[in-house]
Amino acid sequence: MTAVVAALGQPWARRLSVLGGLARFAFRAVRAAGRLSRTGRFVMLRVLVNQIRFTALQAIGLVALLSAILSFLVIAQSVQQLGRFGALERVGTIMVVAVIRELGPLLTALIVVSRSGTAIAAEMATNKVMGEVTALEAMGIDPFIYLVLPRMLGAIVSVGCLMVVFDSVALFAGYVGAATAGVHFNRYASLVLATLSAKDVWITVAKGICFGAAVALFCSYHGLAVTAGPTEIPQAVTRGVVGTIVAIFIMSAIFVAVTV
C-alpha cells in the first residue's frame, strides 16, 4: 500500500521540488540584483547587450514573418466568413483580441523559447560542466550576476520589444488580409482602433515581463542544475524548454481569467 502511494506521489513530489527550486533560484537572482556593485553593473551590462542583440535583434525577421503570415491568414479567413453574416465590423475585435492580445504574446514567447531559451539552457549547462561557474565563484564573481541576471533582463526586454514588432506587423498584414475582401484601409483602421484600448497595451507589457522572465528563469535553472557531465546537456535543454512552454500557456490562461 505504501509502495503504491509512494509511486503515485513521486512524480508530484518531484514537480513540487522543481517549483521550490525555481522559487529559490528566482529569489537568489533578485538578491544578487540587490548586491550589484558599480563595476558589477558594468560587467553585467556587456553581457546584457549581447543577450538583447541575440534574443531581440536577430529574431526580428522571424517574428515579423510569422506575425505577417498569421495575421494575414486569420483576418483573410475571418473577413470572408464574417462578410456572409454582415458582421464585418467584428474584424477589429478578432484582430485585437485574438491576434494582438492572445496569439501575439504567445507566439512571440514561443519564438524566443525556441531560439534563445534553448541557447540559454545549453550555455548554462556547458558553463557548469566546463567548470566556468566554479571559476566565476573562485574569482569572487556571483554567477547569478554574471550569468542569470543579464539573461533574465535581456529576455524580458527582448520579449517586450518583439511583441511590439509582432503587433505592428500584424496590424499591417491584417489590413492586407482584410483588403482581399475589399475592406478599405480607413474602415479597417477605424474597426481596429475602436476595439483597441489602453488595457491591451498594459496586458501586453505585463505579458512581456512575465513571459520573458519565465524563459530566462526556467532555462537558466535547468541549465545550471546539470551536475553529471556533457551527456546531461540535451536533457537540461529539453527540461528548460518544455517547462517554459507549459509555464507560458498557464500564465496566458491566468491572464485571461484575471483580465476578462
Partner 1 sequence: MNEPRSSFLVQAYAFGVEGAAPLVFEALDLRDQPDHPANRFTLSVEPGTVVAAVGDEDSGVGDLGRYAMGLAQPLKGRALVFGAAIAGLPYYDLLVFRRRLGYLQLGDGLLQNLSLKDNIALPLRYASDHRLSEVEGRVAQLVEAVHLGAVAHLRPAQSNEEDRRRAALARALALDPELLVLEAPFDGLTGRAAIDILEHAARRLDGTPRTVFLTAQDLHTGVRRLITRVVRIQDGLAQDEPS
Can you give the binding site for partner 1, defined by CB under 8 A?
35, 39-40, 42-43, 123, 126-127, 130-132, 134-142, 146
CB 114 within 8 A of CB 66: no
Q: Give, as one character, the DSSP assignment of residue 228.
A: S
Q: Kindly state the smallest distance separating residue 136's Cβ from partner 1, in Å.
A: 8
- Residue reference for cell 483576418: 75
- Rounded to 10°, the helix 149-179/60-84 angle is 40
What is the Cα 238 distance to its own chain's centre? 16
Q: Kindly state the smallest distance separating residue 142's Cβ from partner 1, in Å.
A: 6
**Vertex 30: Cα angle to 220 and 47 (nearest 5):** 55
Q: Kindly state the smallest distance separating residue 72's Cβ from partner 1, in Å.
A: 38
> Beta-carbon neighbour count of residue 153 at 10 Å?
21
Burial of 171 (0-12, 13-18, 19+ CB in 10 A): buried
Q: Kindly state the smallest distance separating residue 99's Cβ from partner 1, in Å.
A: 37
Q: Which is nearer to partner 1, 86 or 140 (CB)?
A: 140
Q: Kindly state the smallest distance separating residue 218's Cβ from partner 1, in Å.
A: 21
